[in-house]
Structure 1
Amino acid sequence: MNQPATTTATRAPFGAQLREAAGDWWQNERPTWIYVFKMVFAGQLALGIGYTLDLESPRSALITVFIVMQPQSGMILAKSFYRVIGTLVGSVAVVVLVGLFAQTPELFLIASALWIGLCTMGSAYNRNFRSYGFVLSGYTVALVGLPAALHPGITFDSMMTRVTEITVGIACAGVVSALVFPQASAPGLVRIIRGRFTAFVDLIGATLGGTTDRKKLDAANARFIGDIIGLEALRSSAIFEDPEIRLRSGRLTRMNSEFMALSTRVHALHQLMNRLHASPAPSARIVIDAISPYFKEVQPLLTRDSGEPVMSAVDAADAALKLEAYKRELPRRVRATRGELRLDSDSAMLDFDTASELLYRVIEELHAYTLTYASLPQRRHEREQWEHAYTPKTSMTTALIAGTRAAVTLLLLSAFWLASGWPSGDVAALNAAAFCAITSAAPDPAKATRTVAIGVAFATVAGYFYTFHLLPRADGYWMLAAMLTPMLMLAVWLTTKPKWAGYGLGICIFFPFLAVPDNFARFNAAGYLNEAVALMVSLTVTAISFMVLLPPTTDWIVRVLEKQLRKQVVDACFGKLGHLALKFESGTRDLMHQITMLTSSRPALRQIAFGWTFATLEVGHAIIELRTELNGIRTERPDLLPAGAYAALNRLRETIPALFNTPNRDTFANALAANDHAIAQVQQAIGPHYRERSERHRLQRTLSYLHFIRTALLDPQSPLHTMRDGAADANPTNSGARHAT
């Protein structure tokens, strides 16, 4: 009897539900709609200025706004900067090509195709806002150069008009973004930095505290790869808008570098301990029991007095003091523990030495990373002095394929244009060349082009209705703007939804291209249909070229990147030591990010690539540290190692690159034998006789690096394991099921 009353009493009033729903919308959807209104307003402003200045094609200014507009002001400024540079370079190329080949259209088209191919290659090689400058350099040649080649007398006028229209669009986008509900990049950058620091502190505590298995650690490392690249992209944009970020740019770059080095150390230590757990030898358990207590001491150093993990820069400053004290005492304590060990083999002692050395390096890198994070609140700091920039690593092979594809596509459409006399053939050619460049960096360019084509088909139908039914009734700019606003808002809103962004992009760019009139409006149905067909043909041919001409989604492209990934170890063996560690770290992670993007729907292929990534990181990083240590020995104490040891180490430096260049049973056996021989030579150099502590420590560090390389080569979960004799019959322990410590 009382149940209905209870239900009524606990149900929230309708007004409260409405306020809650409105609050939720305000929190989640408000930024999206602010962005939509800002973008449409900036576009309409650019269009109005274009008409006022009597520009030939004001719609180009409108389209420029849609191309450069981004949620954050810094991104707009960065993209606009490279767009202006690309347009200016492309304009110079137009003058040169038209001057050389104006009387021979065939040679002009061939030269334009080569130029656009080179620009597309540059775009694919850079893969950031700089890539957009390369796209515009090629696109400007197509957009301005093709009409100018037909009418050489208008070349200069066309070039100046093009630059002016783009400048108007960029200026409107920048002004509106900065003045109307501005959204800066800096707060997002701060959130990412704090979130990543906290997440990594948690990961270190869980990893060394004994609650993370290998699969979770691999997944975290894969996620951190995206974070590293995303943070660098956001930093390079934020410096355009915020002087505070510019003052800290060196520290932000430094944090990224220290983060990469630290994550590699943590993963290496975790893998070494996993291998010890998988070992059936009783001495392995002794080593684990001896080193594990040190691991459990790390997490309290990264915890506030309240028991919560370190989050803010102020908390990090306190944690840095704790880490410094711990790092100072760690070598003495480890030596005492080592002296108490009763191990029956040199290999077991090597395991302990290697684990303790890796632990010390983890603490050292963590201390440096924490110090840099703690320094961020200060406008000026000594840690700002950091000139080692993040170095991406793009395969020249894939970039060359992208450039060749764009050039071939342009040549095919240009040949059809010349042979058929198609009035809108130039539109088809220039748009195909542009989209070959724009979508070449997408994980699946053919799919991306198909989604844009669907948006273009919708824009064609809507544009026809606008052009021939609404615009003839428009009286002046304000009525035109009112008619265009609903369609433009729909298009921009679609771009904010990842699932529909391709459709929105097609409408944003090509609806204005088809429906917005020039200063001298022409209502030509045949011309409209010709241009619409040309757009659809260009996108169709582009999609086909991506599916036929060495498509990026094939396994072959992944294998090319995988080979480039393994080549990182070759560079680690022979590259100049100055800044080599940073180049190695950033290049390896950048290649892994590319492979991750290409294998999103192929988990088996991705898993193999992940295996090579971690094998490359482990072996390559150990090689660099080994070379650094040996360089110090050769410089300060060349007699510390005998000639036989130097020869053995040089032999190892030859066999490791051969293994990663051509991984097979023979190269694996040679590398393992060379590593074992180098270990024996260094052990003999250490000997049982007395040495000064610093000398013995240097030799033991050298031995630890060699031993870690050996354990990485023998890792049962590494792709190299399949090349080991008897691996097919082995039954390796799945160390991912348990934690290292």
Structure 2
Amino acid sequence: MKRQHAIKQVSSDTFGWRAGMLRAIADAGTEWATTDGLIWLHLFKTVLAALLALGIAMLLELQQPRTAMTTVFVLMQPFSGMVLAKSFYRIVGTFVGMLAALLLGALFAQQPELYMIGITAWMGACVAAAVRYRHFRWYGFVLAGYTAALIGIPTVMQPNGLFLAALTRAAEVAIGIICSAAVSALIVPRRSSLALQNALQSRHLNFTAFAMKVLDGAVERGTSERYFADLVDEVVGFEATRAFAAFEDPGMRSRSQVLARLNHEFMDVCARLHALHQLRKRLRDNPSVQVVQATAPYLHELSQLLGAHKERRFDSSDAARIAIRLKAFQSTLPARMRATRRPLESDEPQCLPDFDTAGELLYRFVVEFIRYIDTYASLETNHNPARERPPVRYVSRTNAFVVACTFARTAAVVGAISWFWIATNWPSGGMAVIGAALTCALTSSAPNPVKLALQMSVGAACATIAGYLVTCYVYPAVDGFPLLCTMLAPVLAAGTFFASRTKTAGYGVGFTVFFCLLAAPDNVVVYAPDLLINNGISIVVSMLVTAIGAAIVFPVQMPWLIARIEGDLRSQVTLACTAPLAGLAQRFQSSTHDLMHQLRMLLPKRSRRHRNALRWMLATLEVGHATIDLRSEIERATYASDVHARWKPSLDRVTRDLAQLFERPDRAHAERTQISVRAAMRVVQQVLETVHTDREKRHDQQRILSCLHFIRTALLDKGAPFDTR
């Protein structure tokens, strides 16, 4: 019996060991499939689409099948929605670029100097417009620019072939677009809509966890600033993902406006949470312990309500349940806050402004969170209250000097290489101009175009060497398309692998794009290694000239240019103070986040200037939101002008002084703004005493006082970025 028991024990242990091993292997496989496996899938699909485009272009006997291959490598993205969005804008950009090449060819036939001036101006205008209109609209403008160069420059001396070249180019690009879209959508597709849903869930869960820490007062110093800075990238990235998810999924397309509203409401909730956090921090720094203690139970209760959901997955039904609890909390909050306020009226009257402001901020946060969670809960239902509200539009803002400098930089680089080509009659000068146009276009949205251009030049140099080896030793030994694909696949896969990595993307893009342009096979392969080397040298030289131009001619990281963007960020308060109130909160939120995202792209993340820009963004959101709230309350309380003649002028002076302070932040403007805020508070307090018996009017004036008090605390904050020396 003992022997049988021992055998059973050994068998059980062996089975348990094998089961554990299988689980470990399964977990490792799942982790690989969701990390590195996705990179290899993207690599396989990109190479397959490129070879498919090459084969179809050869089968149709087009002039340059390599163009179809190049289109695939420029176009292919991990998500099918990205590919479809880029395909749409590429078609539009290619068509516009083709028309531009034909028009310039018709205007300046056999006049290469004037033709190149036209191409240079067109390239500069397209790249500047691409910087102004970002995301996938950027790609349409970029394509319109360098498609005109790719079509027109090879035929600048032979205008009779321009029309045929334009038609051929359009056909080759169309084949690349179709192959990219087909492979991305049909072979193990990765849906942008699914990624968007996962991003929504993770963003909500992370925000809820952070909000609980803020409400419980458990946020460490500096943590909140880093978190709100990361939220800037999330908000801008979500908007881009929403835009191209609409291309692949009709359901997402029908809910696109709802998702846009959800993103806007998320920005509102974040701004309210930050304002509440800032006020609590200031109350802890000042002797207002009674206010902190009086509001702590409500904050803790709200924290518990937000933390009621403990699962890692969050869907619309979970959102609906939380919305019900929050609405019950909201309905009882004003009466409970009034009951807590009564003892303070007699014992601590000096704490009443802080208590009223804290209560108002808490109530506004709950209202905004309920609005956000209601929209979240209705994403999967037919009835959506967000559809019944005015449409939301994300507003991006780009400084006019940035656009002008981009135009000047592109025109200077392309114009200099064009002049050298015409002056010296350089045989490979046309390819150099094409290389410069491509590099200027592809680096226009990079935070460090010099680094990216240098990486692309190294990739192009490696592509020249690889193209020479392939042309001399591979093509002569290849017989048939299957063997050609077998030989090209490893080379293309290597370039795609480097392009899929963030740190080596420039090398990979330079290698794949220019290997296709230089050495990809045509229907009739021309064995001219000397021409290939000359063209490769011209492309590398053009990239180096582009890098020099990006470093010398209005570099993107010039201090004065960054200061202009910072000035635009601060001037958002002027927008909040002066613009019409209809849709103002949406424009203010989105453009402020967009400007800060630009600064985060340009400034090193842990630098002093980045921290200063972040502090200005948070101060802008605080004061801007409070100003919009103040103006909204003023519109509802116009009767107060009859009660006190200085009521409206004093409040108008506050908004006027706030705008001037953020336009020119110095000690004089800060002191003047503080004086105007205090004066307005005295006037509003007098009106409040006059209308105290009318409940609605009393609440109107109390809300106005809370807005003014919060603005005053923001101006007096020791951590504020105002220059008061």
Distance 1:304 1:296, change over 3 A: closer
Q: Which residue of 2 aligns with 1:732?
A: none
* Amino acid in structure 2 at the alignment position of 1:676: R
- The correspondence for 1:661, drawn from 655, 660, 663, is 663
- For the pair 1:378 / 2:381, whether they are aligned, the reply is yes
The answer as to whether partners of 1:633 and 1:640 remain within 8 angstroms in 2 is: no
* Amino acid in structure 2 at the alignment position of 1:369: Y
Q: Which residue of 2 aligns with 1:93?
A: 100
Give a deviation string over 1:574-603, Cα, whole Å, max 9, x none: 112111111111111111111112112552
Distance 1:213 1:656, change over 3 A: same
- The correspondence for 1:614, drawn from 614, 618, 622, is 618
- For the pair 1:432 / 2:439, whether they are aligned, the reply is no
- TM-score scaled to structure 2, two decimals? 0.94
Q: Which residue of 1 aligns with 2:8?
A: none
Distance 1:310 1:278, change over 3 A: farther
Distance 1:689 1:657, change over 3 A: closer
- For the pair 1:231 / 2:231, whether they are aligned, the reply is no
Q: Which residue of 1 aligns with 2:580?
A: 576
* Amino acid in structure 1 at the alignment position of 2:698: R
Q: Which residue of 2 aligns with 1:632?
A: 636
Alpha-carbon distance in structure 2 between the residues aligned to 1:315 and 1:120: 46
Q: Which residue of 1 aligns with 2:189?
A: 182
The answer as to whether partners of 1:330 and 1:360 remain within 8 angstroms in 2 is: yes
SS at match of 2:646: helix
Give a deviation string over 1:80-137, Cα, whole Å, max 9, x none: 1001111111111112211112232222222221111111111111220110000011
Q: Aligned-pair distance for 1:260?
A: 0.3
Alpha-carbon distance in structure 2 between the residues aligned to 1:656 and 1:37: 56
The structure with higher relative contact order (CA 8 Å, sep 6+) is 1
Q: Which residue of 1 aligns with 2:415?
A: 411
Alpha-carbon distance in structure 2 between the residues aligned to 1:383 and 1:212: 33
The answer as to whether partners of 1:310 and 1:319 remain within 8 angstroms in 2 is: no
Distance 1:690 1:574, change over 3 A: closer
Q: Which residue of 2 aligns with 1:30?
A: 37
The answer as to whether partners of 2:344 and 2:351 remain within 8 angstroms in 1 is: no
* Amino acid in structure 1 at the alignment position of 2:682: A
Q: Aligned-pair distance for 1:312?
A: 2.6
- For the pair 1:360 / 2:363, whether they are aligned, the reply is yes
- TM-score scaled to structure 1, two decimals? 0.92
Give a deviation string over 1:361-397, Cα, whole Å, max 9, x none: 0000011111111112214423234511221222222
Q: Which residue of 2 aligns with 1:248?
A: 255
Alpha-carbon distance in structure 2 between the residues aligned to 1:481 and 1:92: 34
Q: Aligned-pair distance for 1:308?
A: 5.5
- For the pair 1:687 / 2:689, whether they are aligned, the reply is yes
- For the pair 1:498 / 2:505, whether they are aligned, the reply is no
Q: Which residue of 2 aligns with 1:213?
A: 220
How many percent identity over aligned positions? 39
Alpha-carbon distance in structure 1 between the residues aligned to 2:640 and 2:161: 71
Alpha-carbon distance in structure 1 between the residues aligned to 2:213 and 2:25: 43
The answer as to whether partners of 1:73 and 1:182 remain within 8 angstroms in 2 is: yes
| Structure 2 stretches lacking a partner, 5+ long | 1-12
- For the pair 1:674 / 2:688, whether they are aligned, the reply is no
- For the pair 1:166 / 2:173, whether they are aligned, the reply is yes
* Amino acid in structure 2 at the alignment position of 1:298: L
Q: Which residue of 2 aligns with 1:715?
A: 717
The answer as to whether partners of 2:447 and 2:556 remain within 8 angstroms in 1 is: yes
Q: Which residue of 1 aligns with 2:10?
A: none
The answer as to whether partners of 2:619 and 2:720 remain within 8 angstroms in 1 is: yes
Distance 1:295 1:93, change over 3 A: same
* Amino acid in structure 2 at the alignment position of 1:321: I
Q: Aligned-pair distance for 1:532?
A: 0.5
Distance 1:645 1:39, change over 3 A: same
The answer as to whether partners of 1:463 and 1:514 remain within 8 angstroms in 2 is: yes
The answer as to whether partners of 1:641 and 1:682 remain within 8 angstroms in 2 is: no
Q: Which residue of 1 aligns with 2:57?
A: 50
Report the aligned-residue RMSD.
2.2
Give a deviation string over 1:625-680, Cα, whole Å, max 9, x none: 1111112223xx36465221111112222211111111111111221111111111
Q: Which residue of 2 aligns with 1:645?
A: 647
Distance 1:21 1:644, change over 3 A: closer
Alpha-carbon distance in structure 2 between the residues aligned to 1:115 and 1:235: 31
* Amino acid in structure 1 at the alignment position of 2:655: R
Alpha-carbon distance in structure 2 between the residues aligned to 1:567 and 1:690: 37
- The correspondence for 1:489, drawn from 485, 489, 493, is 493
- The correspondence for 2:353, drawn from 340, 350, 353, is 350
Alpha-carbon distance in structure 2 between the residues aligned to 1:451 and 1:58: 26
Q: Which residue of 2 aligns with 1:390?
A: 394
Q: Which residue of 2 aligns with 1:136?
A: 143
Give a deviation string over 1:470-505, Cα, whole Å, max 9, x none: 112222322222211110111112222222221111
SS at match of 1:150: coil
Give a deviation string over 1:505-527, Cα, whole Å, max 9, x none: 11110111111122232222321
* Amino acid in structure 2 at the alignment position of 1:94: A
- For the pair 1:317 / 2:320, whether they are aligned, the reply is yes
SS at match of 2:392: coil
Pairing 1:553-592 to 2, within 5 Å after superposition? 553-592=557-596
* Amino acid in structure 2 at the alignment position of 1:683: Q
- For the pair 1:291 / 2:295, whether they are aligned, the reply is yes
- The correspondence for 2:553, drawn from 549, 554, 560, is 549
SS at match of 2:467: helix
The answer as to whether partners of 1:317 and 1:374 remain within 8 angstroms in 2 is: yes
- For the pair 1:267 / 2:274, whether they are aligned, the reply is yes
- The correspondence for 1:448, drawn from 446, 452, 460, is 452
Alpha-carbon distance in structure 2 between the residues aligned to 1:532 and 1:331: 73
Alpha-carbon distance in structure 2 between the residues aligned to 1:712 and 1:319: 32
SS at match of 1:643: coil
Q: Aligned-pair distance for 1:708?
A: 1.0
Alpha-carbon distance in structure 2 between the residues aligned to 1:26 and 1:584: 41
Q: Which residue of 2 aligns with 1:118?
A: 125
Q: Which residue of 1 aligns with 2:700?
A: 698
* Amino acid in structure 1 at the alignment position of 2:387: E
Alpha-carbon distance in structure 2 between the residues aligned to 1:12 and 1:603: 51
Q: Which residue of 1 aligns with 2:338?
A: 335
Alpha-carbon distance in structure 1 between the residues aligned to 2:313 and 2:341: 32
Q: Which residue of 2 aligns with 1:127?
A: 134
- The correspondence for 2:482, drawn from 470, 478, 482, is 478
